[in-house]
Amino acid sequence: MNDNIIYMSKEAYEKLQQQLMFLKTTKRKEISAQLQEAHMHGDVGDNAEYEAAKEKQDFNEMKIRELEDKLARSRIIKEEDLPDGKVVLGTTVSLIDLDTNEELKYTLVSEVEADPSQDKISVSSPVGKGLLGHEEGDIVEINVPKGKIKYEIKKITKGL
């Protein structure tokens, strides 16, 4: 088991718990039924259905172990524990792209919660890393795969 702590919101933690419960109950029962059905079709050594069901079972058990590990290493971020005025995990940052004058808003989250379609970026992404520790009014230059981008931090708010 990895000792690295994973910080996340309460909602993300609960979502992982729900996924784990689904895999341990519903999914295990489905796979067990598939194994029993395939076993009734004869010799399991030459049974493609049985082999496919065994692979599903192995994958499901691997996902269960992975989720159990993440949950064991998780710590829930509490808004009151976040520092004022600094970009940290759990804050939402309003930015101006100084090259395009575009206004952007990102919420910095753990890798587990990252979802660019909802403007939730991981603190381990290039932009996330580049913003960490900065304050309102700072000009930040960040190296990304496409080159360099410059942002001005307009506002930092607590909460996910």
Tens-digit pLDDT profile for residues 77-103: 887 878 888 999 889 999 999 999 999
Tokens of 156: 């930092």
Structure pTM? 0.71
Cβ–Cβ < 8 Å for 107, 53? no
Each residue's pLDDT tens digit, 30-44: 999 999 988 887 766
Using one digit for the tens of pLDDT, what is the confidence trace for 110-146?
888 899 999 999 998 999 999 999 999 999 999 988 8
Ranges of beta strands (E only) in 16-133 are: 74-76, 91-97, 103-109, 120-122
* CATH of range 79-158; options 1.10.645.10, 3.10.50.30, 3.40.640.10, 1.20.1560.10: 3.10.50.30
Domain boundaries of the chain, sorted by first residue: 6-76, 79-158
CATH code assigned to 6-76: 1.10.287.180
